[in-house]
Every structure is written in structure tokens, then in C-alpha cells.
């Protein structure tokens, strides 16, 4: 996919860009490294809201990800830009509200780039990645579990792995 046009670019989007979408970026970075896709797939994250621009991810998200070998600490929150709809090939919303906001912002012709990340999941437990911001630490583990499942399957479908082309991990 996209072989002749440089890397495949994926943007993950939530509301604040301090809990779910930074976690999605970190999970995707781990998949990219495991599958040898560095330079062939690029990932970033953003929020539909502006409250946390410039902030690092929530400490609970950083700690939960670190326990799984994923480093979120260098990320800083930013807001979705109009230009993102041109730059990215896939724009993955964490929940229905993010999805609707993105579709309403998207220029003509770019709405097909916008999806909900859990459409790639096979767990069948939820359509939305639940917002863990106002809950306890369990919520952050659940976010990681959902995203590891969905993004593992997404990368299997991309079928770009160097090793076997069949999603070997
Ligand atoms: P996120 O979680 O969208 O997963 O980053 C949130 C973080 C902060 C707020 C809302 C959601 N907030 O309203 O400040």
C-alpha cells in the first residue's frame, strides 16, 4: 500500500491528546518496531480539543504504557490541523464524538480517511475506546488492551511486514 508515495502516515485522534491517542501512537510505534516498518509507516497523534496543547501525556498513561515497554514521555499534545487531512493516509478516531468532529472538519474527498480505531478490533466489546481521564488506573490498562488488539490487526491487514508479509511478530 502506498509504496510509491513514501511512508504510510497514520494520525490517532482523541479529545485531549493526553490519554488515548498518545497511547495509540505508542502502541503503533511498538508494532512498527516489532515488524521492522521504521521509515515505511509514520504515526502521530492529536486532539480535537485545545486544553492540553504542549502538555505531556497524563502520568497514568505514561506509567501504564511503560509497564508494557512503550515510551510516551516524549510526546506533547497538539490539536488537529486542517493540513492533517492532506498529510495523513489514515485518521483514526478513538470514539464516536472524535469521529464526528473529524468528519465535520474534513475537506471534501478526505472523509474516507477517517475511521474509528476499534473497527479494526476483533474483541467485539466496544465501539469506542473509553475515556480513562476521570477514572482509575484500570481504565488505562483497558485502553492499552483495546489498542493493542485493534492495531495489531490493522498492521496485519496493511501486510507490509518485512519478515513474512503475514503479520509475523
Ligand atoms: P483523552 O482524555 O481524550 O484520551 O486525551 C481526555 C483528557 C482530558 C480531557 C478530556 C479527555 N479534558 O477534558 O481535559
Distances (CA, A) of 84 to 13, 57, 81, 113, 167: 11, 20, 5, 11, 28
Question: What are the tens digits of pLDDT across the range 32-73?
Answer: 999 999 999 999 999 999 999 999 999 999 999 999 999 999
In the block, residue with C-alpha cell 474483541: 123
Residue where the block lists cell 509514520? 42
| pLDDT mean across residues, the chain | 93
Q: Could you tell me which CATH number the domain at 3-163 has?
A: 3.40.50.2300
* Ligand 1 contact, 20 CB (< 6 A): yes
Q: Is the pTM of this model over 0.85?
A: yes
Taking only the tens place, the pLDDT of each residue in 94-124 is 999 999 999 999 999 999 999 999 999 999 8
Atom number of ligand 1 nearest to Cα 98: 3
What is the 17 CA–ligand 1 centroid distance (Å)? 7
User: Residue 13 pLDDT more than 60?
Assistant: yes
Ligand 1, atom 6: closest residue by C-alpha: 16
- 19 labelled catalytic: no
Amino acid at each position: 500500500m502506498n509504496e510509491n508515495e513514501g511512508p504510510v502516515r497514520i494520525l490517532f485522534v482523541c479529545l485531549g491528546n493526553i490519554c488515548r491517542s498518545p497511547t495509540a501512537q505508542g502502541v503503533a510505534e511498538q508494532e512498527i518496531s516489532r515488524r521492522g516498518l521504521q521509515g515505511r509507516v509514520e504515526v502521530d497523534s492529536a486532539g480535537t480539543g485545545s486544553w492540553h496543547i504542549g502538555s505531556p501525556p497524563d502520568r497514568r498513561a505514561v506509567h501504564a504504557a511503560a509497564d508494557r515497554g512503550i515510551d510516551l514521555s516524549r510526546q506533547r499534545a497538539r490539536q488537529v490541523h486542517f493540513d492533517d487531512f492532506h498529510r495523513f493516509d489514515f485518521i483514526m478516531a478513538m470514539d464516536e464524538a472524535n469521529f464526528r468532529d473529524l468528519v465535520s472538519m474534513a475537506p471534501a474527498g478526505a472523509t474516507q480517511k477517517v475511521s474509528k480505531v476499534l473497527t479494526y478490533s476483533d474483541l467485539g466489546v466496544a465501539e469506542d475506546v473509553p475515556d480513562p481521564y476521570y477514572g482509575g488506573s484500570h481504565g488505562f490498562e483497558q485502553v492499552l488492551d483495546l489498542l493493542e488488539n485493534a492495531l495489531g490487526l490493522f498492521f496485519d491487514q496493511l501486510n507490509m511486514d518485512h519478515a513474512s508479509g503475514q503479520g509475523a511478530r
